[in-house]
Amino acid sequence: MRPIVKIGAGIIALAMISLLFLNPSGCTSDTPDRRPLAKPKQCFIRSESGSIQSGQPIRFRSGIKVEKTVLDSTVTLDGIPVMEEEIPTDELLLGRHDLKIRYLFDDSTRCESSWSIEILSDVTPQVMQYQVISMYDHNTDAYTQGLTWHDGRIYESTGQHGESLIYNYDPMKRDYADRVDLPMTYFGEGLTILGDRIYQLTYKSKLGFYYDLNTMEKLGEFSLPTAEGWGLTDNGRELIISDGTHVLTVLDPKTFEVLRTIPVYDDKQRLESINEMEYVDGYIYANLYGATVIAKIDASSGKVLEYIDCRGILPPELQTPDQDVFNGIAYNSERRTFYVTGKYWPKLFEVSFVPRPS
């Protein structure tokens, strides 16, 4: 089962994942088959804290614990040599970075020690709320995985084996059209439209598909670089994939080569369980699996800028035991509004996002 994330008191209570501090790994010789090994823990490197916010410098200490003559020493951050004991972080990605020191002693032994540090966002997310503009009927047979808006129509992809499909409709008419069913073996996930193609992910098959936008004919498939496929969006040039972790993966839409990754953090921790997404004007609006909340993420830095609390959007009188979690977000660029729904939900909501009263 995917992990559940809850929002409360203006703060997302995410599961804290401990940083893995790498203890000194001991010493190895330049030629392990001939030269003697130095004793473990004869050197060290550590920073002032296991995590800092972006913009704060990494300050560290290093040294040896034995009476030996040091012939040479090298400090690296993520494999790149550093010369100072205070490293600026303004240009570093959010997330984990590895400090390492290597000593070479006069008796031909060497010692290595490592330390990990996690860089968090320096932005405290603003808590927002929703305003319902309109409410439309939604297909209660749809285990909604992906949702996007194009030329006045909603394109939706659904999941579950034997239920996975793509179709499109005018939300005011529910005139379902251009249905494409996936084979029973595939569990459908997110979708996006880029150029004249529709792209779709699968959950655990490590495959994606792409279709002709006009004919819905399947044109091909591609391998996913992630263990799982969850959400999918695009920035007009590249595909952006979520896999349920805190890391987004950016792909070339023609070669499907990994171009870069985007670790996502707020000012306290990494943002896990990123699911369905929508890219709008440089920001990614993302559902968090199991939570009735949307995160607004700066697409270039991975910093969470807002949490939009959507609790209560489905009225109690419309709730049934058969319904599943809040999921699905699309943007209407003409009306500058969003559509949101949930898995097996009876309604699709057109909403805007506004600050929550203090």
Name the least confident of 27-36, 82-91, 121-130.
27-36
Query: What pLDDT is attached to residue 49?
Result: 84
Quote the pLDDT of residue 221: 96
Residues 242-267, mean pLDDT to the nearest whole number: 97
* Token pair of 167 as six digits: 């179709």
Instruction: Please give the pLDDT value at position 4.
Output: 39
Q: How many CB atoms lie within 10 A of CB 222?
A: 18
Residue 115, pLDDT score: 94
pLDDT of residue 256 exceeding 70, the answer is yes
Tell me the pLDDT tens digit for each residue of 274-317.
999 999 999 999 999 999 999 999 999 999 999 999 999 999 99
The whole-number average pLDDT for the span 26-35 is 46
Residue 17 has pLDDT above 70, yes or no: no
What pLDDT is recorded for position 340? 98
**pTM of the complete model:** 0.85
Higher pLDDT, 85 or 19: 85
Identify whether the C-beta of residue 330 lies closer than 8 Å to the C-beta of residue 338. Answer: yes
Domains and CATH numbers, the chain: 22-119 (2.60.40.10), 126-355 (2.120.10.30)
d(C-alpha 358, C-alpha 342), whole Å: 28
CA distance 167 to 179: 4
For 13-18, what is the mean pLDDT? Answer: 34
Nearest 5°: phi and psi at 316? -55, -35
| 50: phi then psi, degrees, rounded to nearest 5 | -80, -15
Per-residue pLDDT band at 100 (split at 50, 70, 90) = very high
pLDDT above 60: residue 1: no
| Per-residue pLDDT, 40 | 57
Residue 176's pLDDT is what? 86
* Per-residue model confidence (pLDDT) at position 65: 86
Q: What pLDDT does 35 receive?
A: 53
- Whether the per-residue pLDDT at 123 is higher than 70: the answer is yes
pLDDT at 118: 96
Mean pLDDT rounded to a whole number for the chain: 89
SS3 sequence of 247-271 = EEEEECCCCCCEEEEEECECCCCEC
Predicted confidence (pLDDT) at residue 21 exceeds the cutoff of 90: no
Model confidence over 62-95: pLDDT tens digits? 998 888 899 999 999 999 999 888 899 999 999 9
Q: How far, in Å, CA of 231 to CA of 245, rounded?
A: 11
Kindly state the average pLDDT of the residues 168-174. Answer: 90
At residue 37's C-alpha, the angle toward residues 31 and 40, to 5°, is 135
Q: How confident is the model at residue 36 (pLDDT cuts 50, 70, 90)?
A: low
Distance CA 336, CA 357 (A): 22
Average pLDDT over residues 329-353: 97
Region 23-44: what's the mean pLDDT? 52
